[in-house]
């Protein structure tokens, strides 16, 4: 992949022809991605569970969700976290390539519109303040802000707080992830509302479980957890 164009800054779009932020091509570029690069993003294989959004053999709800309903009401992801999508998200998250916020939000908007999914407000998975200082931005918040504009839904910044610093989730087992996040999130100002929570990647769903549980405790009617990427095991 070539990241020369987006590292140059947004001013380049005013001087040079509109080009794909990934490959530099000019053909059929929509929100920074050309049709060829878009075609390399692999959608989560259908059919998916109506609740947790993971691929299953037949339409409906998976066995796990039937046996123990998760705290969220629906989970949905743009694509499988591999290949080009993985490279884009990693660059966005770790290499300050924040210019990708618009195309990633655009991909989410396309999927949510196709599925007819709506909400009363959009928010995001928060970072602890120490992580915010070290990284300088919250990638989920940047995507959520763009998505709120595309969907015409209010963006809320203060409904979910992360009140304790945790270990990095990367490399932890599922049980360790759950213990690491238990009691970390506190929510408010959502009573009676349908809330859409944005994240960049869903790995095991542990974060979605804890965030959604905090929203339900605060009185949210429904919680839709939406991500760009999803790890399929």
CATH number at 60 reads 3.40.50
pLDDT at residue 200 tops 80: yes
pLDDT at residue 12 tops 90: no
pLDDT at residue 135 tops 90: no
Q: What pairs with residue 74 in β-bridges?
A: 224
Looking at the fold, whether 154 and 193 belong to one and the same domain comes out as yes
Q: 24's torsion region: left (phi>0), alpha (psi -120 to 50) or beta?
A: left
pLDDT single digits (tens) 26-46:
889 999 999 999 999 999 999
> Which residue in 142, 143, 183 sits closest to 163, CA to CA?
183
Percent of the chain residues past pLDDT 90, beyond the cut: 73
Q: What predicted TM-score, i.e. pTM, was given to this entire model?
A: 0.87
Looking at the fold, whether 142 and 33 belong to one and the same domain comes out as no
Cα within 13 Å of Cα(43), Cβ side: 9
Total domains in the fold of the chain = 2
Looking at the fold, whether 118 and 16 belong to one and the same domain comes out as no
Structure tokens at 41: 């993003």
Geometric angle at alpha carbon 72, from 69 and 76, rounded to 5°: 110
Looking at the fold, whether 90 and 1 belong to one and the same domain comes out as no
Looking at the fold, whether 11 and 79 belong to one and the same domain comes out as no
Looking at the fold, whether 109 and 5 belong to one and the same domain comes out as no
Structure tokens at 130: 């120490």
Looking at the fold, whether 133 and 74 belong to one and the same domain comes out as yes
Q: What pairs with residue 76 in β-bridges?
A: 226
The residue range of the domain holding 27 is 1-40
Looking at the fold, whether 12 and 105 belong to one and the same domain comes out as no
């Amino acid at each position: 992949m070539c990241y020369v164009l987006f590292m140059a800054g947004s001013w380049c779009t005013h001087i040079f022809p509109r080009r794909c932020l990934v490959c530099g091509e000019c053909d059929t570029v929509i929100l920074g991605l050309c049709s060829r690069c878009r075609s390399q993003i692999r959608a989560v294989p259908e059919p998916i569970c109506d609740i947790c959004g993971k691929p299953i053999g037949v339409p409906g709800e998976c066995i796990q969700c039937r046996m123990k309903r998760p705290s969220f009401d629906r989970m949905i992801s743009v694509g499988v976290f591999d290949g080009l999508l993985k490279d884009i998200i990693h660059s966005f998250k770790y290499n300050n390539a924040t210019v990708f916020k618009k195309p990633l939000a655009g991909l989410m908007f396309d999927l949510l519109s196709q599925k007819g999914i709506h909400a009363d407000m959009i928010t995001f998975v928060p970072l602890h303040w120490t992580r915010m200082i070290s990284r300088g931005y919250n990638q989920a918040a940047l995507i959520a802000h763009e998505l709120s504009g595309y969907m015409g839904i209010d963006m809320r910044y203060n409904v979910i707080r992360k009140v304790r610093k945790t270990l990095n989730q990367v490399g932890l087992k599922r049980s360790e992830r759950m213990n690491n996040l238990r009691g970390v999130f506190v929510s408010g100002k959502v009573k009676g509302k349908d809330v859409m929570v944005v994240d960049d990647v869903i790995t095991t769903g542990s974060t979605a479980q804890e965030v959604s549980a905090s929203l339900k405790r605060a009185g949210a009617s429904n919680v839709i957890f939406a991500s760009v990427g999803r790890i399929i095991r």
